[in-house]
Amino acid sequence: MRKGMGWKVILVLAILGVAFFYLYTKPLKLGLDLVGGMHLVLVPEITGLPPDKSKDAIERSLEVIRNRVDEFQVSEPIVQLQGQGENRVIVVELPGLRDPERARKIIGEVASLEFKLVDEDGLSKALEVGPKKGWQILKDADGKNYLVKEKAELTGEYLKDAYLSRSSESGLGLSTVVALEFDSIGARKFAKVTGENVGKQLAIVLDGKVKSAPKINTRIPDGRAVIEGSFTREEARDLAVVLRAGTLPAPVKIVENRTVGPSLGRDSVQNGLLAGIVGTIIVTLFIIAYYKFSGVVAILGLVWNMAIILGVLAGFGATLTLPGIAGLVLTIGMSVDANVLIFERIKEELRTGKSLKGAIDAGFKRAYIVIFDSNLTTLLAAFILYQFGTGPVRGFAVTVSIGILGSMFAALFLCRLVFDTVFYQKEKISI
């Protein structure tokens, strides 16, 4: 080995070490398309709202949805705003989610909770000639009609807590209910309403539907109430979740929903791996058959590059997606190019009668420019793709970009190092 080469060897090993360190300490994050999960894009429907309310509707929706998502207990959920101005949307990503239907319901429910006074006697007349001014007819889940005041006595705004509970008040043994607890202002209001209307019915209205309409037996001073109804445990739990998280300022519309079941994602990983392995084997055999020992060096560079790509992805916490895997496999094919350019050039230089050392020197030097020029175009394309792309496609752009940079580095540095070491003071080259 020549002098001054020691640090190069150390650098090569150090880079490999860092790559493995990151891969070991920060395992690669897999995208939704691989682990399964849900990707939702939501837009609040603010067209009907007064301007003062619609102004920050999207921020408030984001906050409420974030609270709701926290209840799912998936690892690393994403809830964020994307886009600008009028085109802003809320993006929700829930990796590894088990029950997407339920998640969609919980996220999308407005959950506006209102307490409204019921007029039992006026109902039949209202059904005939229409409700009197300031009153309206609402239905419950079974289609039963209620005549209620339009103005709510109390809303979910004053809610402090909501949780699943059991109640024996219905007289039919224990039934599942949602227990509500108001804050101090809410409790005062609730006490006033119940105190003034003993004997009347108070309807609990959720998103315009009557949930239950219990009779007020006595003034309730402690700000506690329950929502009864024929809940399953799960329904009651979900209702408690959305009530706790707060009311959405407007209904949200789902404009995009990409959900992948966990097993299909696993299949994709396996298919991608298989393609990668087959591709690598063929490329390896081909390059070694054609370039002999130099081919082995090129493949060494390829393996080194792969370690760098995966290490960088892990280090930056980037996500590996299905297109990302495709990019990785494609990189295997594209990244040998730098080596091919160098090897062909060395062969040409040898043909002109140069010494081996001279040919290697000239080969690397001349190939350097063209490797730079030609790889930059692919890098440029990947950059544009990153700008344009959404999630998975961005994963592809990132993987390809790192792969190209890594391959240039591998060919010009690692390959050079091996050549300088092995063919130093030799007269023949296996290329």
Partner 1 sequence: MKIPQIDFIGRRKPCLIVSGLLMVIGLVVFLFFPASAKYGLDFSGGTMLDVKFERPIAVKELEDIRKGLEKNGIKASIQQIGKGNEIIIKTKGTQDEKTSGVIKKILEEKEKNFSWSSTYVGPSVSKNLKSSALKSILLGWICMLIYIAFRFEFRWAVASIIAIIHDVLITLGIYLLTGREFNTPTVAAFLTLIGFSTNDTIVVFDRIRENLKLTRKEDYGVVINNSINQTLTRTIITSLTVLFTAGALYLFGGGEVADFAFVMTFGVFIGTYSSIFVASPIIYEWHIRSKVK
Residue 7, Cα to own-chain centre: how many angstroms? 42
Q: Confirm or reject binding of residue 131 to partner 1 (CB under 8 A).
A: no
Contact window for partner 1 (CB under 8 A) among 167-175, 281-289, 310-318, 416-424: 281-289
Exactly one of 17, 130, 208, 261 binds partner 1 (CB under 8 A); which one?
261
Q: Which long-range contacts (CB under 8 A, 24 or more apart) does 346-349 make?
A: 346/429, 346/431, 347/431
Exactly one of 92, 330, 356, 410 binds partner 1 (CB under 8 A); which one?
330
Q: Which helix (H) or strand (E) holds 218?
A: none
216, amino acid identity: I
Residues 36-65 that bind partner 1 (CB under 8 A): 41, 43
Give the span between the Cα atoms of 17 and 13, in whole angstroms: 6
Exactly one of 47, 73, 84, 387 binds partner 1 (CB under 8 A); which one?
387
* DSSP secondary structure, 98-158, as one string: S-HHHHHHHHH----EEEEEE-STTHHHHHHH-PPTTEEEEEBTT--EEEEESS-SEEGGG
Closest alpha carbon to 383 in 405, 363, 365: 405
Give the span between the Cα atoms of 205 and 227, in whole angstroms: 10
Q: Minimum distance from CB of 277 to partner 1 (Å)?
A: 8
Exactly one of 148, 397, 402, 429 binds partner 1 (CB under 8 A); which one?
397
337 token code pair? 């190019």
For residues 185 and 171, is the Cβ–Cβ distance under 8 A? no
Exactly one of 253, 292, 365, 426 binds partner 1 (CB under 8 A); which one?
253
Contact string (CB under 8 A) for partner 1, positions 153-192, x = contact: ----------------------------------------
Contact window for partner 1 (CB under 8 A) among 121-129, 221-229, 368-376, 423-431: 368-376
Contact window for partner 1 (CB under 8 A) among 51-59, 162-170, 231-239, 384-392: 384-392
Partnered with residue 215 across adjacent β-strands are 201
Give the span between the Cα atoms of 104 and 100, in whole angstroms: 6
| Cβ atoms within 10 Å, residue 108 | 18
Q: Confirm or reject binding of residue 341 to partner 1 (CB under 8 A).
A: yes
Q: Confirm or reject binding of residue 344 to partner 1 (CB under 8 A).
A: yes
Strands (DSSP E) contained in 262-416 are 319-320
**Cβ distance to partner 1 smaller for residue 225 or 297:** 297
Exactly one of 126, 326, 350, 408 binds partner 1 (CB under 8 A); which one?
326
Q: Confirm or reject binding of residue 333 to partner 1 (CB under 8 A).
A: yes
Give the span between the Cα atoms of 340 and 246, in whole angstroms: 61
**In a 3-state reduction of DSSP, which class is residue 348?**
helix
Residues 74-103 that bind partner 1 (CB under 8 A): 87, 100-101
Q: Confirm or reject binding of residue 318 to partner 1 (CB under 8 A).
A: no
Contact string (CB under 8 A) for partner 1, positions 399-428, x = contact: -x----------------------------
Q: Minimum distance from CB of 280 to partner 1 (Å)?
A: 8
Q: Minimum distance from CB of 43 to partner 1 (Å)?
A: 8
- Report the helix count and the strand count for the chain, using DSSP H and E: 13, 15
Contact window for partner 1 (CB under 8 A) among 155-163, 194-202, 332-340, 422-430: 332-340
205 token code pair? 């209205």
CA dihedral 327, 333, 337, 343 (to 10 degrees): 150
| Cβ atoms within 10 Å, residue 414 | 23
Q: How many Cα atoms sit within 13 Å of 74 on the Cβ side?
A: 23
Q: Minimum distance from CB of 330 to partner 1 (Å)?
A: 6
Contact window for partner 1 (CB under 8 A) among 61-69, 136-144, 159-167, 275-283: 275-283
**Cβ distance to partner 1 smaller for residue 111 or 287:** 287
Contact window for partner 1 (CB under 8 A) among 61-69, 131-139, 154-162, 377-385: 377-385
Number of chain residues interacting with partner 1 (CB under 8 A): 74
Q: Minimum distance from CB of 429 to partner 1 (Å)?
A: 15
Exactly one of 69, 92, 260, 299 binds partner 1 (CB under 8 A); which one?
260
For residues 37 and 93, is the Cβ–Cβ distance under 8 A? yes
Q: Confirm or reject binding of residue 382 to partner 1 (CB under 8 A).
A: yes
Rg (Cα) of the chain, in Å, rounded?
A: 33
